[in-house]
Amino acid sequence: MLQRKQIIVIGSVIVLMGLMLSMDIQGLVKSNEESSKANGSVPAQAEKIREISLEDISATAKEGLTANLKKQITDLEAQLKNSAETEKLTIHKRLAQEWDDVNQTTTAAFYYELIAQKEPNFETWLKAGDKFTDAYQQSMDTLVQPALVQKAISSYQNADKIKPNTLEVKTGLGIAYVTGTPNPMQGITLLLDVVKKDPNNLKANLNLGLFSMKSGQFDKAVERFKTVINITPSAEAWFYLASSYENMDRKTEAIAAYLKTKEIAADPNMSQFVDRKVNELSN
């Protein structure tokens, strides 16, 4: 199942990049002086965010499943409805894993949140926050994204209450603040603090690179993605590096990075995309 999920992720790099760069991140290039006014709370516009329910999310997610997988999950949901309170946590964990295994991150995130509510500790709230982060970064529904961002923030804040000022929580909150609040520089400040304390923090460097791309600072993005590649070379990081070079009109470096993407991904769709890119950049 892990191999299947890895293939899904690799095959979705181009889509995910488009989603990340299309997200409306207001004020990303505000000055540090302006960002110092941020207070770390959930934004005031939260009441305008569309409410989403586990039932609706689950129903939508099932549409993409095979009949067998759909039946497995439907049976578990029925079992959950008829279970005693003492049995619910175990079934929540099974459902969270089932949805995780089929790469339905939004539905999985809701169950991880339920697990954290019943078994509240740093690890469960951190996992819920990370799953909601995956969910809003992968969601194509711009009406649902804000609600997922706020759930990520809430989960990380609960984790922070139990174990304050960890780099994991700062990273998660930093990404969420940039993506879904009116004070993105507050999130950038958190991420910069993370890499100051841990220069090789993979997630913080990757997202700082993505946010640099979003704000058109491709030279900074290049340095971030180089750091990521030095830590853990991946098709995703090489792809982002290639795109940054392309936007800087550094065609030779872009071609080399795209070819590394193709080599590592070993995915037919990615290979076709890279071949087209290399052809465009070579002419």
Check: CB of residue 195 under 8 Å from CB of residue 208. yes
Domain with CATH 1.25.40.10 in the chain: 1-8+49-195, 199-283
- Coil, strand, or helix at residue 38? coil
Q: What is the mean pLDDT of residues 39-63?
A: 70
What's the rounded Cα separation, in Å, for the pair 67 and 44? 42
Residues 6+ apart with CB under 8 A from 127: 112, 115, 116
The predicted structure's pLDDT at residue 33: 35
What's the rounded Cα separation, in Å, for the pair 177 and 181? 5
- Coil, strand, or helix at residue 40? coil
Q: What is the mean pLDDT of residues 63-69?
A: 92
> Into which CATH architecture does domain 199-283 fall?
Alpha Horseshoe (1.25)
Q: What percent of the chain has pLDDT over 90?
A: 73
Buried b (16+ CB within 10 A) or exposed e, 154-188: bbbbbbbeeeeebbbbbbbbbbbbbbbbebbbbbb
Nearest to 110 by CA among 51, 171, 53: 53
What's the Cα-to-Cα distance from 30 to each of 154, 189, 193, rounded to whole Å? 25, 12, 18
Q: 1-8+49-195, what's its fold?
A: 1.25.40
The predicted structure's pLDDT at residue 52: 87
Output the average pLDDT for the chain: 86
Residues 6+ apart with CB under 8 A from 186: 35, 38, 40, 177
Amino acid at 92: H
The predicted structure's pLDDT at residue 135: 95
Check: CB of residue 232 under 8 Å from CB of residue 202. yes
